[in-house]
Each structure stands twice: as C-alpha cells, then as structure tokens.
Amino acid sequence: MEYTASQIAAWLNGTVEGDPDVRLTGLSKIDAGTPGTLTFLANPKYTPYVYTTRATAIVVNRDFMPSQPLTATLLRVDDAYSAFAMLMARFQGEAQVPAGISGQASIAETATLGRDVTVGAFSVIGSGVVIADQVVIHPQVFIGENVQIGAGCVLYPGVKVYHNCEIGASCILHAGVVIGSDGFGFAPQSGSDYRKIPQLGNVILEDHVEIGSNTTVDRATLGSTILRKGVKLDNLIQVGHNVEIGENTVIAAQSGISGSTRIGKNCMIGGQVGIVGHLTIADDVKIGAGSGVEASITQAGAIYLGAPAIEIGKARRNFIHWRHLDEIVKKVYTLEKTLKQNHE
C-alpha cells in the first residue's frame, strides 16, 4: 500500500496535524516504528515512544496533548485503538485461498452455493447444505448435512461444522474450530457404567460471531446452543451443550462453560475461567482471569474475581488479608500460648 496521511485521515474521520502529504507504506508498532510506517497510541503506557518512534505518522486520540516536540505527523481520531483496528483490517495482507471451487473439493449434489463462494481443496460439503453469497471456505473444512451458512463468512482450514447447525452472516471460524460436536451427556448406570444420552439439538451462531482456533461449541441435548450476535471467543474455549451467550460478550482463552448456563450480553470473561452448569450470568458482568464461578451472578455490571469467584470489593479485601495470613496465624498461636499459660 501507499497512501497519504490525508487519505487515511479521511477514512478514519480524523484530522491531520503535520504534513498531510506524507506517504505511508505500512503499519508498525510504536516501539518498533520505521520510516514510512503508520503507528498508533492508545495505551498511555506507551506515550514515551511518541517522542522516540521512527514511524512517520501516529494515530492518536483527539485529546492527546504532547509534552515535547514531535517529528511525526499526527492523525487525530475519536478512538485511536478502534481506528487502527479498522486500518489493519483494510490493509491485511494475509494469503487467501484461491477464488472459486477447487476441483479437489467434495460437494454434495443437493448442496446449494450462493454467488462468489470459494471452496478450498479437500473440503467436504454435505447434502442439504445451504451456503450464502461470498463465503470463503479454506482447505480441509468439513460441513455436515443440512448446515446453513450466512453471507460473508470465513471458515479457516480444519473447521468442522456438524449436521443441522446454523451459522449467521459475517462469522469467522478460525482453524480447528468444532461446531456441533456432542454435548457431554452420560447417565450413570448400575455399577460404574454410563449410558450415552443422545444429543439431538444443534448450534446456532448469530451474525458477526468470531471463534478462535481449536475452540469447541457443543450441540444441545434438545433445542439449541446459541451464541448471539457479535459474540467473540478466543482460542481453546469449551462451550457446553445448551449454553446461551448474549450479544457482544467476549471470552478469553482456555475458559470453560458447563452445560445449560446462560450468559448475558456485553459480558467480559477473562482467560482460564471455569463456569459450572445451569447458572445465570447477568448483563455487563466482568469475570477476572482464573476465576471459578460456582453460583449465578444476578447483578448487572458486577465484577467478580477468585476461585470461588466473589464480588471484587470483597475479593480485594480478602486478598489483603491473605497477604498477611502468615502474620495473623503467628499472632493467633501467640495468643493461644499466652492464654494457656495464664490458665495454668
């Protein structure tokens, strides 16, 4: 790419402070900027690099006030982080699967493909599948019978979508994602045996859902496991059967959600969080990394930490006490010893 600062500012609804005609040929990190590149400042922690970076231009928030002279041109926008994310999406140069249908793909005669669909080599599309316009299916993807996939989706290599699942428009499934595998349902029998409970439901992903590599979303026992519009899941997450995740909720890597739990909209769940089954998590809740949630969280906007997870204020107070636990125990032993001596 090669664009002027003024061109990029126009895309971002921003303004230029400095040379509007400076030419930019790439993007860079602010602490590793090189001449001709555009970088950004969103985290105040990186403010010192504004004055030392070799990048030619920097995207900053409108209220940024430099405390030293600058050599770089500034592009002022409402939200530097979001603006730079837009630029990265626009300029991404990742290799794409060649357009069209590979002769090495297997597509059932009863499958229906929309306009401008791409299917990579060794992908398998089952009977009754309906794929909308401009879907990109990378090599070695499996799509089971009667699956529906909305317009503009991207399925990366190794994705598996089991039968009867539904994927909305503009979803992204990264490598190794499994949608619709059986939920973990087994009924104890006499002795130590278990009887498998058939998993007859499906998975529904609404529009604009993105799921990271090697994440699994189990099909429902009956009904549907549902990820609502705008949900974002990181890599290596387990979503159990009949779970429902509300709109625009984001979950970081290595978290696990047990069956039939309902998570509200706009929640933020950190990495390695475990949530037991049949719980309800209210809207706008935040759960810190490594937490274990054993009870429903009914207060919207609450923040929980710890294992077991508790409200953040109480968690912080407990942490302070825990840091002094050794001293407290020694004091208790000393008091016990003193009391014992006084009674002798």
Q: Which long-range contacts (CB under 8 A, 24 or more apart) does 65-71 make?
A: 70/18
**Cis ω on the peptide bond leading into residue 139 (within 30° of 0)?**
no
Per the annotation, the verdict on 163 as an active-site residue is no
SS3 188: strand
Tokens representing 36 are 């001709």
SS3 287: strand
Pairwise CA distance, residues 281 & 275, whole Å: 10
d(CA 27, CA 75): 14
Phi, psi of 100 (to 5 degrees): 100, -175
Encode 175-185: b = buried (16+ Cβ within 10 Å), e = exposed: bbbbbbeebeb
Contacts (Cβ under 8 Å, ≥6 apart) of 142: 123, 124, 159, 160, 161
CA 86 distance to own-chain centroid:
17
Q: Helix H segments across the chain?
A: 5-11, 80-91, 312-323, 325-342
Phi, psi for 6 (deg, rounded to 5): -65, -35
In this structure, the strands spanning 172-173 and 210-211 are parallel
Determine the length of the chain: 344
233 vs 267: CA distance, rounded Å: 12
Catalytic member of 138, 163, 241, 278: 241
Catalytic site residues?
241
